[in-house]
Amino acid sequence: MKPILAELLTIGDEILYGQIVDTNSQWMSVELDKVGIKVIRKTTVGDRENEILTAFAEAETRADIVLITGGLGPTSDDLTKPLLAKYFNCELKMHEEALAEVTEFFVSRGRELTDINRQQAALPICCTKITNPIGTAPGMWFERNARLPDEQVKVFMSMPGVPHEMKKMMTEQVIPKLLETYQMPVITHKVIRTVGIGESFLADKISTWEKSLPPHIKLAYLPSLGEVKLRLTGFGDSPVALQNEIDLLTEKLLPLAGEYVYGYGDEPLEMVIGKKLREKKLTLSIAESCTGGYLSHLITSVPGSSDYFLGSMIPYAYEVKMRQLGVKPEILEKYGAVSEPTIIEMANIVRAKFNTDIGVATSGIAGPGGATPDKPVGTVWIAYSDKNHTVTKRLQLSKERMINIRMSSAAVLNLIRLSLPSQ
């Protein structure tokens, strides 16, 4: 089945200038994907007639559906409505039903309906009005090729840029109308989450598997700090058959990259670790220096983390590592705070102090200062400790402070994943 393609067009200088962030396009992409519509492009243009008309024409050549937000206000710089009338070669005319709705909107709020606001009800005569139940600017639905049997219907849909108005219109009216207009293909996604391997190394490991993917299933690499997500997207007619095919492909992937796969879907690493700790009835405590509480923040961002997380210390200063945590002065003096002996002490001591099954620790040079010739910025030691063993790892990260903090925290979570007892 031919995919149904959509382009999202945002109109307004305020978007281009960065005065307003376009959150509409992200939300619309998610909702369209749910019903099988593939977004192929997102475009933003300013409040200039020629650029807007060009954007209309170019979008129509690429997409079946063009969803437009912004530029529907009552002032002279709001050009979307008159330019849509020009593009579809039809005049603006007062729409009586729209006028009644705008009038009721103002009367119900005890406000005067001015001549400028009255113009909100003037619509191109070739469009279908889409009611805006919580605002003054109606939506406008345009169609081309609706009566041509061999041509795909082209839809232009213009909506307010105000997010809550657009979302209500999309959810209650636009998406149902699109589903009536088009026969949608099935789109299925599966996200496979990996940690502890870079994007290029992962791609090399799974290259043979990737090359064997059928044409209707696409792979995307979604890297972020500390992890890489693999997204399989399949297109077909049967959701059950497509899901089964993607699951089978995932099974074939695991022998190649299974040691790095920690989960699927929307669950981040801290949530997966939390489930494992809860299932095994294990408790955790943390001593974090260079991560400054960020690791504890990740752990406690998971609802119900009090079942397994007892607490943490942030012994940031040398003196606090000795006096409050209890690291031996001779270890600090001989090896320094950023060292394997120190990180082993930190993990073992915090486990004992909090009487937990597991203790983990971080110590490093987050930057930009504090480096030495043998310990440059980005040098980090992490450790895991339980009653059976202690595991350490040295990381050599970047020169950027926040990147180092976040990547160190992800590395500790992965160290927990790899070091947990099997029983």
Chunked mean pLDDT (size 10), the chain, 423 residues: 90 91 94 91 95 96 96 82 96 94 89 86 95 92 77 92 95 96 88 96 97 94 93 89 96 96 95 97 98 98 97 96 95 96 98 98 94 94 97 96 96 97 80
Q: Which CATH superfamily is domain 4-181 in?
A: MoaB/Mog-like domain (3.40.980.10)
pTM of the model: 0.76
Domain segments of the chain as ranges: 4-181, 186-264, 270-419
Residues 6+ apart with CB under 8 A from 131: 101, 138, 139, 173
Rg of the chain, C-alpha, whole Å: 29
* pLDDT score, position 148: 61
Is 186-264 in CATH node 3.40.50.970? no
Q: Positive or negative, the Cα torsion across 263, 267, 270, 272?
A: negative
- Cα atoms in the 13 Å half-sphere on the side-chain side of 169: 27
- Cα atoms in the 13 Å half-sphere on the side-chain side of 419: 23
* pLDDT score, position 363: 97
* pLDDT score, position 228: 96
* pLDDT score, position 150: 63
* pLDDT score, position 149: 61
* pLDDT score, position 112: 84
Residue 51's alpha-carbon distances to 58, 68, 77, 168, 315, in angstroms, are: 10, 14, 14, 28, 57
Question: Residue 119: what residue type?
Answer: Q
Give the other-Cβ count within 10 Å of 187's Cβ. 20
Token readout for 110 is 């005890």
d(CA 27, CA 226): 26
Q: Which CATH superfamily is domain 270-419 in?
A: CinA-like (3.90.950.20)
Helix and strand numbers, DSSP H then E, in the chain = 17, 17
